[in-house]
Amino acid sequence: MELTVDTVRKLMLLKQGFRQFSVPQKRHVLDVVRELGCVQIDTINVVERSHYMTVWSRLGPYDKKWLDELLYPDRKVFEYWAHAASIIPIEHYRFFAHTMKAHKQGLKANAKRRLGEKAWLIDKILEEIRHNGPMSTSDFELEEKQVEKRSGWWSWSFTKMALEMLFNAGVLMVSQRRNFQRCYDLAENCLPSDADTAEPTEEERQEFYIMNTFRTLGATKPSDVSSFYYHWGTSTPLNGQSFERVMKSLMDEDAVREVTVKDHEGPYFILTEDSEIAQKIADDRLDCFDDVTFLSPFDNLTWNKARTRELFSFSPKLEAYVPPSKRKYGYYCMNVLYKDRLVGRIDPKMHRDRKLLEIKSIHLEKGFKPDVEFREKLAEAFRRFKEFHGAEKVTFGKAVPKNLGLNTSK
């Protein structure tokens, strides 16, 4: 089966939850997390934190508390390492148990190495949480100030390291978040009673990571799996001989098929169940994403920069950590998706105290010519953006092309 790159892009967008916008409900938020496999969490809050934005890009304005509620009280998702720190469907928990187990086995030795004479913090934290219930880092910070006056032993930085060790080991889980701050509790208090905790074999884990990556990306190179799931979150070989054996087994079972992408080096693979969908897209028999939306720099669509350049002829940029004098697109440039192409970037900032959404700049890709349809859909995207952030006004800076017809909203 040969696919054009246009078909590959459209299939990827469909698999990642980009559809026509409608009125979202809470169940749609969970659908997005499940379709994506995991949603990256990031602390930058110049507009909104990335995990909320990733869902908005696919659903439009929705109630952010729905995503919070999926963690607590619903327990439909959990936080752990997948592609960096991520929100993950709870049904995937058991595939990360191996990593947790490895961290737990080395917990005492790691504590002695990293915490030195304060390795006792591991037991102290567990004692505090067992006694008090879920605790945030600020709870320990308050305790630190009280204890330091008496003994000088309690150190915030060491406490944070100890909490992270216990989290990595799966002993603690994120119970909920308060103002984005993690509240930790014992894992047995966070896992739903019906959660499947049976630890898979290495082969089963490899198959899971392959299938889930293919399910989310569409036509996929095997090397894309290790770019989707980072090794520190899986502790599972995502390349090499054992990985290749699982790939061959999946092909023998006809769960996966090899395809070619016209004018692109392969090999690419596709889930057999997606073959018919890909053919419908190729024959123009399936409605695909036909709108404009904005993507966080940490959006799943552009995680793999090499893949993004290859399929979209677009190079994602994150300039938040670049000196201001060297920035080309802005501190927090979000990518502009139009139909199946990445056509530009915006640099937004939300002034919450004034309920003002400022768009400092818009940069369109060289060669892209905005037509009437694009301008209308871009204006509608900004309306959705404004609504989601609770802004009462949008202003556009001098670095916004005049031919886009965007005016400051009253």
From 282, 307, 326, the end of a domain falls on 282
pLDDT recorded at residue 41 = 97
Residues 81, 200, single domain; the answer is yes
pLDDT recorded at residue 141 = 58
pLDDT recorded at residue 231 = 85
Look at strands 172-178 and 181-186 and give their pairing.
Answer: antiparallel
The encoded tokens of residue 163 equal: 């909490």
Amino acid in position 109: A
Q: Which residues of the chain have pLDDT under 70?
A: 141-156, 408-410
Q: Is residue 17 part of a domain?
A: yes
The encoded tokens of residue 202 equal: 């290495």
The H or E element containing residue 34 is helix 26-36
From 265, 282, 299, the end of a domain falls on 282
Return the SS3 of 235.
coil
The CATH number of whichever domain residue 348 belongs to comes to: 3.40.630
Residues 266, 332, single domain; the answer is no
Q: Is residue 87 part of a domain?
A: yes
Q: Is residue 8 part of a domain?
A: yes
- Tens of pLDDT, residues 288-343: 999 999 999 999 999 999 999 999 999 999 999 999 999 999 999 999 999 999 99
pLDDT recorded at residue 144 = 44
Residues 216, 88, single domain; the answer is yes
pLDDT recorded at residue 261 = 97
Look at strands 341-351 and 356-364 and give their pairing.
Answer: antiparallel
CA dist., res. 32 & res. 71, Å (int): 14
pLDDT recorded at residue 56 = 98
Backbone angles phi, psi at 357, to 5 degrees: -100, 115
The domain of 78 spans 2-94+196-282
Residues 266, 342, single domain; the answer is no
Residues 324, 382, single domain; the answer is yes
Domain count, the chain: 2
From 282, 297, 327, the end of a domain falls on 282
Q: Is residue 134 part of a domain?
A: no
Q: Are 65 and 74 in contact (CB under 8 A)?
A: no
Residues 328, 278, single domain; the answer is no
The encoded tokens of residue 343 equal: 């056509």
Residues 10, 70, single domain; the answer is yes
Q: Is residue 100 part of a domain?
A: no
Residues 239, 366, single domain; the answer is no
Burial of 388 (0-12, 13-18, 19+ CB in 10 A): buried
Q: Is residue 66 part of a domain?
A: yes
Q: What is the CA radius of gyration of the chain?
A: 23
pLDDT recorded at residue 377 = 98
Residues 269, 326, single domain; the answer is no
pLDDT recorded at residue 408 = 65
Residues 323, 269, single domain; the answer is no
What pTM was computed for the model?
A: 0.94
Q: Are 361 and 346 in contact (CB under 8 A)?
A: yes
